[in-house]
Structure formats: C-alpha cells, structure tokens
Amino acid sequence: MNDTDDRDPTAQRVHFMGIGGVSMQGLARWYRAEGFAVSGCDVADGPAQAALRADGIPVAVGHDPAHVERETDVLVTTMAVPRDHPEVLRARERGVTVRPRIGLLGDLFARRQTIGVTGTHGKSSTTGMVATLLLAAGVDPSIQLGASLPGLVGNMRHGAGPHLAAEVDESDPGFADLRAAVAVVTNLEDDHVAGEFDERRNYHASLADLQAAARSYALGAPQLVYCADWPGLDELLGDHPRATRYGLAPDADARIEDLVLGAAGASFALAFAGGGRAEVDLCVPGLHNVLNAAAALTAIDRIGLDAVALAPALASFAGVGRRWQVWGRTGGAEIVDDYAHHPTEVHATLTAARASGRRVRAVLQPHRWVRTARLWPALADAAALADEVLVLDVYAAGEAPIAGVDVDRIVERVRAAGTPAARHTLASAVAHLRATLRDGDLVLTLGAGDVWRVARALATGEPLEVPDARG
C-alpha cells in the first residue's frame, strides 16, 4: 500500500476500523477499486455502513480483535482509535501492519498530481469545486472528498487520469507530512486545538502547533495557493517560492473583481496577474463561497488547466452534502441544513441567510465539548445574527463532558444580544417549529452532528428519526 510494497496489491487484505466515517468510506472504496480485498467495522450500524455493504464491502458492527484473526495484511485506523485498543494490539501481535488513515491518503497523493485543499473552513466546498472543474475538463480525475457530491459514488471517484482533488483534514496532525502538487490553504484559525484540556484525539496541542503543521504541509508542495484576505497567512506562508494569492486584496495574484452578491448566489470575475479573466456565476450564496470558487480556479490554473475556459462549469455547482443543503419547503418556509459549527462558519452562513430577506430561525447544535468550552462566547455571538435561535445539547462526538460547560450559557448570551433563544432537544425543536412556521421563514439547522434530523423531519413531515447514542 505504498511505494515500497512489492506484493501484488490484489493479494492484500485491508481492514478499516471506523469505516463509517466519511473519509474512511472514501478510502475504503478507493482501495477496493484498486483491487484490494477490503473489509471494515464500526461501533454502530447505519446508512453509511449499509451503503458500503451494497458496494460489496463487508462491514461488521462493533470492534473485536477477532476481526484481525482472519487473513488481514493491513489494519487502518483513525486518530479516534487509541493505540492500546484491543483490535490494534491483536493486529500487532499477528504482525499485521497498522496504518493511520492519513498515511493511506499520502499514498494516493504520491500516485496522482494532487490538488490538496486544507483550512479551518471551506475545505469540502472548495474541493467539490475543484472536482467540478476537473470533471468539466474531461481529465477523468480521482476525488477524495469529506462530503457527498452529486454524481460521485459516496464521496469519492476512482479515475484513470493523472489528477486527484483531495480534501485534507487539518485536525489530523499527520497532514503536515502530505505532499500535494498544489497545496491550497483556504484559511486558518483556532479550531481543533486542545489548549488546557486533556482531549488529544482530533486536536493539536496549541494553535502554534496547528500553524506549524499547516506551514509544513504548505511548504512541502511545489506550488501553494492561499487566501490573500485571511489575516496571518502572509506571515505564515508568504515565503513559499511559488505561492499564488487569491482574494479581494488589491495585490492578490488572482483578484476578485466586479463582485455581486445575491440572495441565492453570486457573480464575479477572477483576474489572473499573468493574464486571463474568468467570469464566474455561482448558485450557492455567500462571500465565503466566492472565496472558495476563487481558490478552486486558482488551483486549476496552477496545475496547468485552462481556468478561464472551465469557469462556467461552476454555475452547475449546487454545493456538497450538508453545506447549504436545501431540504425543501413546508408551509411557505424554506428548510436548509448546513455543517457550520465553528463561530466563523456560523457567522458566514447566517450572514448569507440574512441576505435572503426571510425571517431566519436557527437550530444550533454545538459540536464537541472541547470546542464548546473554548469557543462558546464567539459561537453565541455568531448565532445571535439569526432572528431566533434554538440551542440543542452538545453533540459530543465521543468526548467526555467538561465540568462547567453548559449550553444554557449560550442561550443566555444570545438573549443578552437581543435575539430570542431557548434550549431544546431534537424532538422539542421539531415540535416548536412545526407549530410556529410561517410563510417567509428560513429554518437553518447548524452543526456537524445530527441536527440535520430536524431539517429532514420538517421538510418531509415524517416523524423525527431517533438518533443513536453516539453523540
């Protein structure tokens, strides 16, 4: 599974722990397409696991050392799997190679001319836009995405062409060692940082550690694309010898001009310093998506494809899964779900929502205890942009509760800003909204957990699906 392997890849058997995770799904499907014998397991069952089985990948429910008692050559783990997990220990006893997810992604990078997109915000959408442009170019690209994109099998595509569009998760410190042909850094700020808390899964110890990892990733690429408008990126990355800066800044190498932001989309031109002007129309709203599109076009230009000719393809980009995902309308109200969970993302999404002119009713689900403990004031301030805020309990994502952290603080701070707010469960949020929806409302569910269930129940009129206990 790397450049030093001399075995026939079809003879290798690969088992994925936590295969239902979005990035693991994509990698499992990729290696199956490459001819590997792939299997997996996960702590619980669900639609993702069922879809993998339908694709011919055996998936067991629960973790068990017996999974590596069978013929297994490689065990793939995520950061969430402790090193002393019984399944991992048994694999090592048997001489099974244990590899982190990020290492497999690195293998893919080595085999393709990769545009790798990282950053605190906008990774999935920007990668989806890069994928859209590569598909329009007809180069039969490969794609590894952290969200669904219409036209893909799940969140990946196994192409025969030389190009790979890949989302790079900055929460995994191992991303520092990935080597892309073109590294894209959309932005970088305080997130996935443990700070004073003990939790270390999916976290960097400090903001300085995150910045160092991002710098290593960026400087390891022959070409770098980053946002000229984002504070601190020039200081962190500006010494790269082949950096291309995009954005609204007058000195950007790829400059956004003639920008028009609408309620449901945007139009602009992207002027390249070396000549050429790409005309862009988007059907996804917000300045953040304009910047995502500028990043994608700049990366396409840097990899040697005609960004000006390909730019019209972005008019067909309707977003990736759970990023401004329109579920439908009910009673004259529009129901939209969005993955936003960091204060900056919540602010950007609600700013785009307010441009619709509708009454914005936000259902906010804080994500992870450490993030909530460190960022709850900023999260509340961002949420207060809505006309009403329904705050759900923290979606733990496997983390232990932190003493003194309570969503009531968020509710109180939102109220202090003058916005009506209340604490809710998934069920009570659905009941409240069903009883009070009116024509002209925009209901926006916000969070990286299972808050989308509220949007689905409202849009379909079906009973609220009872979530599992992993939150």
- Alpha-helical (H) ranges within 226-286 are 233-237
C-alpha distance across the termini of the chain, in Å: 33
CA angle 311/313/315 to nearest 5° reads 100
Q: Which residues pair with 338 in a beta bridge?
A: 446
Give just the sign of the alpha carbon dihedral 210, 216, 222, 228: positive
Q: What is the pTM of this model?
A: 0.88
What pLDDT is stored for residue 469 in this prediction? 42
Q: How far is the CA of 412 from the CAs of 161, 189, 339, 368, 408, in angstroms?
A: 54, 26, 23, 20, 6
What pLDDT is stored for residue 319 in this prediction? 87
What is the phi-psi region of residue 131: left when phi exceeds 0, alpha when psi lies from -120 to 50, beta otherwise?
alpha
Helix (H, G, I), strand (E, B) or coil at 108: helix
- Alpha-helical (H) ranges within 61-117 are 86-93, 101-111
Can you tell me the distance from the alpha carbon of 408 to that of 421, in angstroms, rounded to the nearest whole number? 10
What pLDDT is stored for residue 80 in this prediction? 80
Q: What is the CATH number of domain 325-460?
A: 3.90.190.20
What pLDDT is stored for residue 12 in this prediction? 86
What pLDDT is stored for residue 5 in this prediction? 40
Q: Name the phi and psi angles at 115, rounded to 5.
A: -100, 110
pLDDT means over runs of 10, the chain (471 residues): 43 89 93 93 90 94 87 88 90 93 94 96 95 97 92 88 96 93 96 77 84 97 98 97 98 98 94 96 94 98 98 94 90 94 94 95 96 96 98 92 94 98 97 96 96 96 69 42
- Alpha-helical (H) ranges within 9-77 are 22-33, 47-54
Between strands 59-61 and 243-247, the pairing is unpaired
What pLDDT is stored for residue 190 in this prediction? 85
Q: How far is the CA of 126 from the CAs of 38, 153, 226, 322, in angstroms?
A: 29, 19, 12, 14
What pLDDT is stored for residue 221 in this prediction? 98
What pLDDT is stored for residue 10 in this prediction? 45
Fold of 112-316: UDP-N-acetylmuramoyl-L-alanine:D-glutamate ligase (3.40.1190)
What pLDDT is stored for residue 173 in this prediction? 87
Which has the closest alpha carbon to 81: 144, 155, 24? 24
Between strands 266-272 and 156-157, the pairing is unpaired
* The architecture CATH gives domain 9-99: 3-Layer(aba) Sandwich (3.40)
What pLDDT is stored for residue 204 in this prediction? 83
Residue ranges of domains in the chain: 9-99, 112-316, 325-460
